[in-house]
Amino acid sequence: MVEPVLRAGETYPFPPDITESQAFDVWVQVPVATFVAEYDKKTVVGTYYIKPNQPGLGAHVCNCGYIVTQEARGKGIASRMCRHSQEEAVARGFRAMQYNMVVSTNEVALHIWKKNGFQVVGRLPKAFKHAKHGFVDAFIMYKELQTVSV
């Protein structure tokens, strides 16, 4: 499920020739947790990871990456994983969630994240080298998950 998305070069900045071992590290070893979405407890239809976006003084903001299988797209899986990830983030002590590079051509993801309360807080001109469209813009998206008390 992860391999075709990373190899496509359309949504994640990892090199399309990433090895299985490297992909495992990125998706499973480095994050604090990795989850799968199942259909009928038999078929995995999606996955996401959660990790601190930055170390130390920035570790209260998490980052997530999501993948839905081709067959399960358009069925609300990404939205459900997004909501689940926010609940998990709060339970793990994170106060906000940040997506560092939402590719501008990924209109479906932009729509889903906005629908789930994320705002575009920055635009990175030509920051992503898309496999089909060349250099395209990317967005930084952010959502505060709970009130920060001072």
- 88: tokens are 């998990």
Q: Is residue 121 part of a domain?
A: yes
In a domain, 31, yes or no: yes
Q: Which residues, in sequence order, are CB contacts of 143 under 8 Å at separation 6+?
A: 86, 96, 97, 98, 116, 117, 118, 119
Q: Is residue 150 part of a domain?
A: no
For residue 150, pLDDT beyond 70: no
Per-residue confidence (pLDDT) for residue 39, from 0 to 100: 87
CA 62, CA 73: separation in Å to the nearest integer? 25
Overall residue count recorded for the chain in this entry: 150
For residue 149, being part of any structural domain is answered with no
Number of domains forming the structure of the chain:
1
Kindly give the residue spans of alpha helices, DSSP state H, lying in the chain: 2-8, 20-24, 77-91, 107-115
Could you list the residue range(s) of the whole structural domain that residue 63 is in?
A: 2-144
pTM for the model = 0.91
Phi-psi region of 67 (alpha: psi -120 to 50; beta: other; left: phi over 0): beta
Whose tokens are 């070893």? That residue is 29
Copy the structure tokens of residue 21: 């071992």
Q: Which amino acid is at 137?
A: D
- Structural domain contains residue 132: yes
pLDDT in tens, 97-107: 999 999 999 99
Among 92, 107, 73, which Cα is nearest to 35's? 92
Q: Average of pLDDT values for 70-90?
A: 94
Give the CATH number, domain containing residue 55: 3.40.630.30
Instruction: Summarize pLDDT for 40-59 with one digit per residue, the tens.
Output: 888 999 999 999 999 999 99
Burial 48-69 (b: 16+ CB within 10 A, else e): bbbbbbeeeeeebbbbbbbbbb
